[in-house]
Amino acid sequence: METKHDFEILRYLVKQYLETARQPEQDQRRNLWRRHNSLKMTRPPVLVMLGFWNAWLRDYIPESSLRCSDPFFRGYERMLRLKLFHATLGDDTIFEPWISQGASHVLPSGGRWGIELSRTSPDVDGGAFAINPPLKELDDIHKLLKPRRQIDEAQTAANLARLRDAVGDLIEIDAVRGTAYAHFGGDISTDLIQLRGMEQVMIDMYENPQWLHGLLAFMRDGILAAQDKAEALGDFSLSCHDNQSMAYSEELEDPHPNSGPRRRKQLWGFMAAQEFTLVSPQFHEEFLLRYQLPIIAKYGLSTYGCCEDLTNKIDMLRQIPNLRRIAVTPTADIGRCAEQIGGSYVISWRPNPTDMVSAAFDEGRIRRIIREGLSACRDNGCVVDITLKDIETVQGEPDRLSRWVRIVREETDGASQMPA
C-alpha cells in the first residue's frame, strides 16, 4: 500500500512538471542559451539557482510536508516540488522533459582518496563546519589511494527499475553514469583543502613547496585516470555537461537523456578554485591551475569559477584553451572584470544575494546595482548573464525571488542588443 501511495504522489507531480517542461518557452530558452554561450549578443539571460543546501528552502519545503514514505521516492518528491516552485519564478532556467537517476559509484573506504575526512558539525542549523584534515604530517601522503572507477551495477539497475516502475511510462528516466571525480570532486582545490587544511596549504606553499607539488601531481593524475577510464567505458553522456548554468551552445550537442557514450571533447567541463580566493595569481597558477589544466583541457568547452574572486586572475585564466565562461562573484569587481574580459568570454555575473533578496528588499538598490553592472558590461562589449545564487534567506518572503526576476528582466530588456 505504501508503494502504491508513493507512486500516486510521484505520478501526480511528474504530470504537473511535464506541463512546464513541454511549454514552448523552453525551446525559446534553449535558443537563447545556445546563442549566448556561443558569444552572440542576446538579452542577458537571468538565472536563479536553488538547492536544499539553502536553509530557507528546507523550511519552505520541510521534510514534514513530504508525503512519500520510501526515502528513495521522497528524494524525487522533494526534487519535483522544488522544480515546480522554481518554475513559478520566471527566470531562464530550462526544465527538461526527463528526470535523472545517477549510478551507484563505489568509492574507497574513507572517500575519494581512501582516507577518512572528518568535520566538526556546526552548533546551529546552517552554520559553518570545521575541517579536521587527515594529512597532518608530510608522511601521511602515503596513506592516499589512487582513484578507481567502480560502479555497483546491481544497485544501479535496481534504482533505475524502481523509478521506471513508478513513473517511467510518463516521463523518460535518464541513466547518468559519469564519474565521482568531476565537478567539485575533480577540481583538485576542494579535496586539497579537505585533505590538508586551508592555512596549512598556504604554509606549504612556502615551507613545503616540493611536497605540495607532489600531492597536487598525485591528485591530477588520479582524477585524469578516473575520467579516462570512465570515458573508455562509455560512462560520459550528454547528461554529463557541467557549466553551472544551462549547458547549451552552438558548438556542442544539447543535453539529452540516454544519449549513449560521448567523449569529454563533446561536453562542457567545470573547474573552480574557491579555496584559492586569498592566494596570489602567481601562487594560484603554480599550485593549482597548472594541475587543473590537463583535466579541463579534455573537455569541449569549459567554465571556471564558483564563489571565488577572480578579479586579479583573468589574465591567468587565458591559459585555459577551451574557456568559455568565467564567474564574476559577489566579492569580485564587475567593472574591472568587464574591462579585462571584454567579448572574449561569457561573464557569469553573480551579484551579492544580500543586496538582492536576503536583507531588506530594496527595489531601488537592486536596480542601481544591476544597472551599474550592465553598464560596465555594455561599455566593454561583454556577453553577460546574471545569476542569483547562495541565497541563505529570503526572510520568510519567497515571492522576493519572482519579484527580483521581474525587476532584473526590466533592466536587462533595456540592455538587450538582440531580441531573444
Domain edges within the chain: 2-415
Q: Are 6 and 166 in contact (CB under 8 A)?
A: yes
* Residue 306 to residue 49: CA distance in whole angstroms: 12
Q: Write the CB contacts of 77 (distance below 8 Å, at least 6 apart in sequence).
A: 6, 9, 10, 13, 66, 67, 68
Distance CA 95, CA 365 (A): 30
| Angle CA 93–99–103, to nearest 5 | 120
Three-state DSSP state, 132: strand
Pick the closest to residue 354 from 389, 403, 399, 306 (CA basis).
389
**pLDDT for residue 194:** 94
Alpha-carbon span 224 to 55, nearest angstrom: 35
First to last CA, the chain: 49
- The CA dihedral of 263, 266, 267, 268, to the nearest 10 degrees, is 140
- Which CA distances in Å does 48 have to 23, 45, 89, 126, 226? 19, 10, 8, 20, 32
The pLDDT value recorded for residue 413 is 86
pLDDT of residue 420: 42
- Residues 239, 398, 243, CA angle at the centre, nearest 5°? 25
* DSSP-assigned states of every residue in 244-258: SS----SSSPPP-TT
Give me the pLDDT at residue 53, please.
Answer: 77
Please spell the DSSP secondary structure of 108-139, one letter per residue: -TTSTTSS--EEEPPSSTT---EEE-S--SGG
The three cell numbers locating residue 68: 512519500
Residue 142: per-residue pLDDT: 95
CA 190/CA 389 separation, integer angstroms: 19
Query: What whole-number distance in Å separates Cα of residue 341 and Cα of residue 356?
Result: 24
Print burial letters for 345-364: b (CB count within 10 Å at least 16), e (below 16).
bbbbbbbebeebbbeebeee
Q: In tens digits, what is the pLDDT along the chain, a chain of 420 residues?
A: 568 999 999 999 999 999 999 999 999 999 999 999 999 999 999 999 998 777 788 888 888 999 999 999 999 999 999 999 999 999 999 999 999 999 999 998 888 999 988 777 776 666 777 888 999 999 999 999 999 889 999 999 999 999 999 999 999 999 999 999 999 999 999 999 999 999 999 999 999 999 999 999 999 999 999 999 999 999 999 999 999 999 999 999 999 999 999 999 999 999 999 999 999 999 999 999 999 999 999 999 999 999 999 999 999 999 999 999 999 999 999 999 999 999 999 999 999 999 999 998 999 999 999 999 999 999 999 999 999 999 999 999 999 999 999 999 999 986 554 444
Looking at residue 417, its pLDDT comes to 47
Q: What residue type is assigned to position 275 of the chain? A: E
What are the grid coordinates assigned to 318, written together?
587565458
> How far apart (Å, rounded) are the C-alpha atoms in residues 132 and 96?
39
DSSP state for residue 285 in the 8-state scheme: I
Q: If DSSP codes are grouped into helix, strand and coil, which group holds residue 106?
A: coil
The confidence score (pLDDT) of residue 418 equals 43
What is the Cα–Cα distance from 325 to 387, expressed in whole angstroms? 13
Burial class of residue 283, CB neighbours in 10 A (0-12, 13-18, 19+): middle
pLDDT of residue 419: 40
What single string gives the DSSP state of each residue in 212-233?
A: HHHHHHHHHHHHHHHHHHHHHT
Distance CA 258, CA 260 (A): 6
For 2-415, CATH number?
3.20.20.210
